[in-house]
Amino acid sequence: MSDRHIHMAGQVVERHITRAGQGGGRDVYEYALLRVVPRVERGECVNAGVLVYCRARGYLGARTHLDEPRLLALDPAADVAGVLAALGAVEAVCGGGTAAGQAAGDDAGRRFRWLIAPRSTVVQPGPVHTGLTTDPVAETERLLDLLVR
């Protein structure tokens, strides 16, 4: 088996490997969606934000957008103000500094891992995915447009 191909069930599949210095200026990043689950027992959710972490650039960012009519369609009694406050808190933790509260002293990676930890609250992180980017700030906005808005 070579670095270029994987043989699976008689098929040859192209395999893309990025080694240090071969990324064309692109760095690996991780991201997770923020989902609002107004009624956990029903399992319905609305995508409301995205978290992006790029270790190579020391970047941790969050962008949020709550589609209130969609949320209220799932649960007319949803606490919109509470959800907006929780989404704002996530953005504050990503920004670090005094607004991050107890997480202020943690590095970006530790704050990201804390934010993506599973929890049973109305605002929940989704699974973590990866990608390559030359600009994690722009990637955060692109993912918000693609997956949330």
Average pLDDT of adjacent 10-residue blocks, the chain of 149 residues = 49 50 80 94 93 94 96 95 94 84 83 89 94 96 96
Which token pair is 13? 């599949």
Distance CA 56, CA 114 (A): 19
The residues, any chain, with a CB within 8 Å of residue 102's CB and separated by 6 or more, are none
Distance CA 83, CA 38 (A): 9
Specify the pLDDT at position 127.
Answer: 95
| Contact criterion met (CB below 8 Å) for 51 and 130 | no
Q: Where are the alpha helices (DSSP H) in 55-135?
A: 68-74, 80-95, 108-116
Specify the pLDDT at position 126.
Answer: 94
| Contact criterion met (CB below 8 Å) for 30 and 53 | yes
Specify the pLDDT at position 1.
Answer: 43
Closest CA to 104 of 56, 40, 60: 60
Specify the pLDDT at position 3.
Answer: 47
Question: In terms of pTM, does the model score above 0.85?
Answer: no
